[in-house]
Amino acid sequence: MRLDHPISRRSRAQGGFLVVAVLMGLLGVAFFRAQVLRSTDWVLQAESNRLRQLDVPAPRGTIFDRHDDVLADNVPGYAVVLLPDHRDTIRLRLERLRPHLGLTDARVDRLMEQARAYPRQPLTVKVNAPFVEVSVLEERKSEFPGLYLEMRPRRRYLAGEALAHVLGYLGEITPTELEESLYAQDSLDRYEAGTILGKDGMERQYEKTLQGRRGSRFVEVDVLGRIVGSFQGSAGKEAVPGGDIHLNIDSELQQWVHHIFPDSMRGAVVALNVEDGGVLALYSSPTFDPNDFVGGIAVGRWETLLSDPARPLFNRSVLGIYPPGSVWKLATAAIALDLGVIRPDETMPIPCTGGMQYGNRFSRCWNAEGHGYLDLLGAIRHSCNVYFYQLGLRVGLQRLLEKGTEIGFNQRCGIDLPSETQGLFPDDTTYWERTPRFGYRATEGEVMNLAIGQGPISQTPLKVAQFYLAIARDGSAPPPRLLKTEEPPEGGWSLDLSPEALEIMREGLRGVVRPGGTAYMASLEHWDLMGKTGTVQNPPNPDHAWFAGIAGPRGGAPEIVVVVIVEFGVSGSGVAAPLMAKTADFYLRRKHGIPVDSIQTLGEHYMTGTPAPWAATLTAAEGDREGDREGDPEGEGEGLPEGAGQGAWE
């Protein structure tokens, strides 16, 4: 058939129609399958292609002091983050970021490890990147695919070093912490690798309150992983800020303590509010700056802190234990009065002649010249060992241990801090047998050592402060608390002390800072000051210096208890007492609206040549005998009986 014959043409055309129908039909079917039948899958894939979920960090709760001054808050900071991607891509991007962020080899390796471990999470390359670095990266964003500059609240500690031990510091959650049930079973599921949490102090103690709840949001990325914009389609999740907390701490007082505490000295200061036992100041020297920890502490800085022999991270106020020495004599007195074994006005039968014979041993008083016959008031005032030896013997070892245990000299105060050392104090008479250091059966004579705060006894400054709190109050001592709460804290202990007995003890303490008292130079213009010095031998090093004091308006109830210990401070009256007085003065002046002056104690008036006419009104304590032998302004220089004064303070 000829090609141009109509029938031939038509039959070939039919083949053409068929081919068109088949091929176009195939295309139609393929598109129907992709766009109608399987569309949902592809839509999901399109989303995962272009959307990346990012965390929205939640700010931590703010920490306030008792006057609602901010102690720790958050300021905007920038973190440099890489979006999840293939490991090789991440490595490449890190290399490219390196010169801009000054990343070390070790840091890059660590980041790569992290990227391996958590391949689906954004990788935080640098937190708290300096503004210069951030602005350079922001400007050249298109050159750094996968880069994300995240606004991340940055912790700020306004009081810096002054409050380091109270507030603690932050750090990244460790693998061990991740497995602790406290974090692993968090009801809000807030803890995962990379979470920043409190490592110490309030930040740790109230971590669960302070920690916020991170939110999430979606961003759209282009084919190179560059963020194009935020995605409006899905709302994501709002970040919930952490809860605020209010502390009993008086920030200005704390800073004042930091200011007056000699930088070169180690020690601690604890100030308690007499009213409720709230902690007004809790200071340990040397200290550190918790701001250094924000965003990860530099390795060098961390090692310096750890290797420093002065142990700046160690919170001496609650972790350090020191033989209390003379400051503990008040405990012996209080226990004796509680048990009713003496009357306050009773004079001990044996006069102090510079020492006392008990059994085959002669135990000395610090004053070799002797104090003669003394009642409780005089004994406290003069810190007479002989009186307290006898008082201890009268209480008896068994009862002293029982009562001391009841007060908790071998327990923790229960302050709301992550850790607290419990005091060292024998819980019963078998202690001497059990302890290798002694290894013998206790004799009744052991009570003589303990009665003057020596022997197997070491206490934290906080515990000593809690004990003085009872004397400043009505014999009861609530547990010291950092967190300000509506209701008074539960727990604590109480001694059965009559107002007269309390007044006698206070009068004895008052005498210490009156003319003729060892700490007279610490006396203050406006306030009724009471206190007890303590000097603890610490061979071969210089002695530790204690001062435990109470202060309040004249003629009124005591308002503040301050305990100071200065390691190697040599003299309780010369070093520790002025610190205590200045602390109390600062607090009370502000509380009662009297302008604060840097010349506070009588000693400072003398040294600066500032007249102190008010000193004339201070009289020697009541009942002080004439011709009181006072001539040792350096301190008591207590002689230690044999077997005591090991100077163990930890």
Beta strands in 83-214 (DSSP E): 123-126, 147-157, 170-172, 196-198
Least distance (Å) between residue 231 CB and other proteins: 10
Nearer to other proteins, 46 or 193 (CB): 46
Least distance (Å) between residue 221 CB and other proteins: 7
Nearer to other proteins, 46 or 557 (CB): 46
**Most distant CA pair in the chain, distance:** 154
**Nearest residue to 477 (alpha-carbon basis) of 460, 490, 458:** 490
Q: Which residues bind other proteins (CB under 8 A)?
A: 1-4, 8-10, 12-13, 15-17, 19-21, 23-24, 26-28, 30-32, 34-36, 38-39, 41-43, 45-46, 49-50, 86, 142, 220-224, 226, 228-229
Nearer to other proteins, 227 or 447 (CB): 227
Q: Contact at 8 Å (CB) between 451 and 389?
A: yes
CA atoms of 438 and 450, how far apart (whole Å)? 14
Q: Contact at 8 Å (CB) between 209 and 242?
A: yes
Nearer to other proteins, 20 or 607 (CB): 20
CA atoms of 334 and 327, how far apart (whole Å)? 12
Write out the DSSP string of 478-547. Answer: PPPBSB--SSPPS--EE----HHHHHHHHHHHHHHTSTTSTTGGG-BSSEEEEEEEEEEEETTEEEEEEE
Amino acid code (one letter) for 639: G
- Tell me the torsion sign for CA atoms 390, 394, 395, 398: positive
Nearer to other proteins, 34 or 117 (CB): 34
CA atoms of 630 and 521, how far apart (whole Å)? 13
3-state secondary structure of 282: strand
Q: Provide the angle, in degrees to the nearest 10, between the axes of the packed helices 329-339 and 397-407.
A: 100
Nearer to other proteins, 37 or 132 (CB): 37
- Tell me the torsion sign for CA atoms 380, 385, 386, 390: positive
Least distance (Å) between residue 120 CB and other proteins: 17
Least distance (Å) between residue 590 CB and other proteins: 59
Rounded alpha-carbon distances, angstroms, from residue 101 to 77, 82, 88, 298, 621: 15, 13, 19, 15, 68
Least distance (Å) between residue 222 CB and other proteins: 4
Nearer to other proteins, 89 or 411 (CB): 89
Least distance (Å) between residue 238 CB and other proteins: 25
CA atoms of 132 and 76, how far apart (whole Å)? 15
Least distance (Å) between residue 92 CB and other proteins: 13
Beta strands in 207-354 (DSSP E): 215-221, 227-230, 245-246, 267-273, 279-285
Nearer to other proteins, 17 or 440 (CB): 17
Nearer to other proteins, 41 or 179 (CB): 41
Least distance (Å) between residue 88 CB and other proteins: 10
Least distance (Å) between residue 223 CB and other proteins: 4
